Structure 1
Amino acid sequence: MAIKIHGYYTDYETENYSYTDSNGQTKTGSRTKEVEVTDFKFTIDLSNYIIPYGKLHIIPNKKYPNIDIMGFLKEYIENKNLLKEIEMRKMAIWDYDSLTKAISSVIRQQGYNNNLCINYPIRNYIKSFKDQLRSDFQINISPRDWF
């Protein structure tokens, strides 16, 4: 898990070009396009703060509204479908909103007024299509203490 912080703004560039019209005359033209300009972009690794053991649970859905993990696994084992699969989503549980506000506030206090994007990508993220299983991993430091 990491924090990615990206400060940027949109600029406009004009491109000049030449073309030949239907009469064989060479003409010039120009077009303007938007360009994203990065002021800063960095990543801070948070992997060392994640407790290595997650808590596994079922995500309720229409097919499994009140089933426990053992019941879910038993049904999976007994299912005769040769293409069956179990899908799991790994989630790092943390107060992302508070940390995002704190990081944004400090950057803004430095006078930065352009666009700011703060996100939390997770490496080795197991994407679930049906969201049947989820494993929650706790982070062993509060956002406030980390910040």
Structure 2
Amino acid sequence: MENEKNETITETTTTETTKTEITATETTLSYKVKNTSNGVKSSDPAINHDSKALRQFFNDNNGPPVMNMKIQGWHKEKSQELSGKSYKNIYTTVIDFEVTLDLSGYILPTAEVIASPSFDEYLEAYIGDENKCKEIILKKTVLWEYDLLYKSILDLARRRGYRYNLSVTYPQSNLIVKAMTDHSFGKNVRTYGFIAAPISWLYKKKFDKLQSQFKMNTSASEWFTQNSTLIEQYITTDQRGGRVVS
């Protein structure tokens, strides 16, 4: 069923959790998957009855997430609207400037999976569980000095004379790898959606304690030094060209 050409997972156990390095490998294991913006999911029988096959499924699909940085400068504007015999205040959000930068290329290709008590034991627990609505989820995260980066961008905006609100967010996709039961009952619950929601709530069992931690190939301060000039070009103190969003 499975023929791994090389071993790519090494474990170092701590007293509380196991940290496992996991990367994609060549394999002859065959299974069907569904790709979504959130990631990859599968209910193929091939990965639901063998912990080694399930391990390979996570191996194959544990690629880095897609991550952007979205910087917005914005402010609130107040107006009044007649409501009956009185006026009520209306507040709208205006985007003064916005820039989106792709950070995906800075994410290292290998990740460390955090599991308790261990990665293999967690997979075996899922395989051995008889719940008919079970699923096991690997969630991807990217470790970086986000707070430091926000402060650096805010300081840059202030030096440029921008005095209003600043937000820095990190839209991401390809964040989860999910294996779902191949039992017919569980499939019917997923197929009929909200109709079966109460049943799903009562019977579904989630194995959702797996976390895949990726790191960046550069520090936040180094990245900011390299990209501050580009970011500065988008910062404006002119509110006349703002975009009303709410």
Relative distance call for 1:69 and 1:39 in structure 2 (3 A) is same
Deviation at 1:81, TM superposition (A): 1.3
Relative distance call for 1:131 and 1:109 in structure 2 (3 A) is farther
Figure out how many residues of one structure are paired with residues of the other and give that number. 131
Deviations 1:109-136 (A, max 9, x none): 1111101111222222239976410001
Residue number among 107, 115, 121 corresponding to 1:50 in the alignment:
107
Residue number among 176, 197, 210 corresponding to 1:126 in the alignment:
176
Unaligned runs of 5+ in 2: 1-66, 179-205, 225-246
Aligned residues: CA RMSD: 2.2
Corresponding residue SS for 1:77 = helix
Moved more, 8-17 or 125-134: 125-134
Distance in 1 of aligned mates of 2:129 and 2:82: 64
Distance in 2 of aligned mates of 1:130 and 1:110: 48
Residue number among 36, 57, 69 corresponding to 1:3 in the alignment:
69
2:141–2:211 CA contact under 8 A, matched in 1: yes
1:92 and 2:142 correspond = yes
Query: Counterpart in 2 of 1:14?
Result: 80
Distance in 1 of aligned mates of 2:166 and 2:120: 44
Query: Counterpart in 1 of 2:165?
Result: 115
The runs of 4+ residues in structure 1 deviating greater than 6 Å are 127-130
Q: TM-score, normalised by structure 1?
A: 0.79
Relative distance call for 1:130 and 1:32 in structure 2 (3 A) is farther
Corresponding residue SS for 2:126 = helix
Residue number among 70, 73, 80 corresponding to 2:123 in the alignment:
73
Q: Which structure is higher in helix share?
A: 2
Distance in 2 of aligned mates of 1:5 and 1:38: 10
Deviation at 1:14, TM superposition (A): 2.6
Q: TM-score, normalised by structure 2?
A: 0.49
1:101 and 2:167 correspond = no
Deviations 1:51-85 (A, max 9, x none): 12221121xxxxxxx51111111111111112111
Relative distance call for 1:57 and 1:85 in structure 2 (3 A) is same
Unaligned runs of 5+ in 1: 20-27, 59-65
1:137 and 2:214 correspond = yes
Higher RCO (C-alpha 8 Å, min separation 6): 1
